[in-house]
Amino acid sequence: MTLLVILLVENTRIPVDDPTTHLELTMIHEVMVLDHSGPDFGLIQYAAALKVWILGALLAGLVVPVRSGSVWLDGAAMLVGMVLLAGVIGMIESAMARYRLVHVPQFIVGAATLSAVAFIIRLV
């Protein structure tokens, strides 16, 4: 659960910002991206997609742990896991679009609490 929230937050897949900050502070990253065009903009977009793919592959590998030794079976299991992850991300984004921005920090704090509980359970 926590890795899914990290995937969403790190890749700005949901409107994750603090509504109490100034708008200028939340737009710094977007301005850096919009200052580029052509191949540089393409590389920035490719890097963002690669970050989603790597975190998604890590999450799919943990959720669908198929280690059969067959390249085709392992690849198919990873592909199914990534397709399922894409569906879950799409459902979360469509639900989060209806959230007020005041509730988004509570979502992140809830995920951090779940990760702390999982860490404590893992230690015991």
Q: Which has more pLDDT, 46 or 93?
A: 46
In the predicted model, what is the mean pLDDT of residues 35-51? Answer: 87
Q: Dump the DSSP string for 91-113.
A: HHHHHHTTS-TTTHHHHHHHHHH
Residue type, 52: V
Q: Output the pLDDT for position 73.
A: 92
**pLDDT band at 124; cut points 50, 70, 90:** confident
DSSP state of 12: T
CA distance 93 to 87: 10
CA distance 44 to 50: 10
Percent pLDDT > 70 in the chain is: 79
Q: Output the pLDDT for position 99.
A: 65
Q: Which has more pLDDT, 122 or 21?
A: 122
**pLDDT band at 72; cut points 50, 70, 90:** very high
> Cα separations (Å) of 62 from 32, 46, 113?
34, 24, 20
CB 60 within 8 A of CB 81: yes
